[in-house]
Homo-oligomer: A and B are copies of this chain.
Amino acid sequence: MKNSLFGQDLTTVDSLEASDLALIFQKTDRMKKLTVEKGGDDSLKGKIGAFLFFEPSTRTFSSFITAMQRLGGGIIPLNGMKNTSVEKGESFEHTVRVFSTYADCLIIRHPEVGYPTKATQVSAVPVVNAGDGPGEHPTQALLDVYTIVRRFPDKKELTVTLAGDLKFGRTVHSLAKLLLKTDKKINFNLVSPEMLAMPYEITVKIKKSSSVFETSKLSETISVSDVIYMTRVQKERFENPAEYEKLKSFYRLDKSLLTRAKKEVIIMHPLPIAANEISHELDDDPRSLYLKDQLKNGLAVRMALLDVILNP
């Protein structure tokens, strides 16, 4: 398979084609096997990744630096960049140019939308978006879609419920768009309070090829879902705390709610689970993938992505 991603940036899932997905997912299969069998190899030996996290992160940061090292690469690990040249007044563009002379790729997280894309304009090396504010989080979407398609290889149609904060949750934005690029027909259930609804332009986009059912009641979607994808409802998004208290129970998943679910349903979450939106009693449930497959797949997807971007 020709590697069309070599030397390319990945700042949004919009740039990915079905053939790119196929390439990354095939490579991801191999990375999972490699990790189990040998831990890693030397395919990125002599390569350095600069992990420029202008907003601190635990999970994504650690997953990325692990991926780089499992393939023999080196790391510039800057988690929560501060006390740095940026504070001395250096422009973002200069910072990017500096690191693009040291490293072979830049993995950038930023609290504001668009900064990874801005970086691509001046970087001499490929840039990967590791989350830009409420914007996108393409590697999370890749791992989520990989997890879904590998779980249901034979189904031609899937009903996917996205629940919680669909407005500010960058994860679900990238995920919804990327699901459209698979060869499956997707029926979406979008579950959120009105004030946290999916942005209009994304809803319009997915309505072109998918059925979309919008509701504020999680319970209405349980019995038809193949995938229930939960996200955090962040208390600080609500001006009125009482409103948050009232709403949050609509977005709480527990065993009792799942009694009406399909037998093969899978439960996903991008983590961290902060407000008990998924009951702890589900952590070890075989239907729950958020503490297992999603994490393992996340590491493997990032290994695959770094490999295809850095090796021809």
Contacts from A to B (Cβ < 8 Å):
38-41, 45-48, 50, 56-59, 62-63, 65-66, 69-70, 74-78, 80-81, 83-86, 88-91, 93-95, 97-99, 101-104, 271-275, 280, 283, 291-292, 295-296, 299
A46, B40: Cβ atoms under 8 Å?
Answer: yes
Task: List chain B residues, Cβ under 8 A from A45.
Answer: 39-40
- Taken together as a complex, chains A and B put the C-alpha atoms of A59 and B84 apart, in Å, by 8
Contact between B78 and A291, CB atoms less than 8 A apart: no
Q: Output the least CB separation between A122 and chain B (Å).
A: 9
Whether the Cβ atoms of A291 and B102 lie closer than 8 Å is no
B291 in contact with A97 (CB, 8 Å): yes
B58 touches A69 (CB 8 A): no
Contact in complex: A39, B46 (CB < 8 Å): yes
Q: Contact check: which of B57, B89, B91, B101 meets A299 at CB < 8 Å?
A: B101
Residues of B within 8 A of A62 (CB): 50, 76, 78, 98-99, 102
11 contacting pairs across A/B (C-beta < 8 A): A56-B84, A58-B84, A59-B98, A62-B99, A66-B74, A70-B74, A77-B77, A80-B83, A90-B273, A93-B283, A98-B271
In the complex, residue of chain B having the shortest beta-carbon distance to the beta carbon of A124: B292
- In the complex where A62-B50, A66-B74 touch, is A272 in contact with B85 (Cβ < 8 A)? yes
User: Out of B41, B47, B101, B271, which one reaches A292, CB within 8 Å?
Assistant: B101
Complexed CA–CA distance, A78 and B93 (Å): 26
Which of B70, B76, B80, B292 has a CB less than 8 Å from the CB of A65?
A: B76
Extra inter-chain contacts (9) besides given A69-B74, A98-B295, CB under 8 Å: A39-B47, A39-B48, A58-B85, A59-B98, A89-B274, A90-B271, A94-B283, A97-B295, A101-B291
Closest Cβ of chain B: how far from A148's Cβ, in Å?
A: 18
Contacts of A103 in B (CB 8 A): 66
Q: How far is the CA of A283 from the CA of B122 in the complex (A)?
A: 11
The CA-CA distance from A45 to B74 in the complex, in Å, is 13
Closest to A232 in B: B88
Most buried by B among A62, A103, A292, A296: A62
Q: Which residues of B contact A40 (CB under 8 A)?
A: 45-46, 74
B104 A272 Cβ-Cβ under 8 A: no
CA–CA, A99 and B62, complex, Å: 8
Residues from chain B with a CB closer than 8 A to the CB of A274 are 88-90
Q: Which residues from B are CB-within-8-Å of A57?
A: 84
Q: Once bound together, how far apart are the Cα atoms of A91 and B276, in whole Å?
A: 10
Q: How far is the CB of A168 from chain B (nearest CB, A)?
A: 14
Pairwise interchain contact A88-B272, C-beta atoms closer than 8 A: yes
A206 CA to B50 CA, complexed, in Å: 40
Q: Is the CB of B58 within 8 A of A86?
A: yes
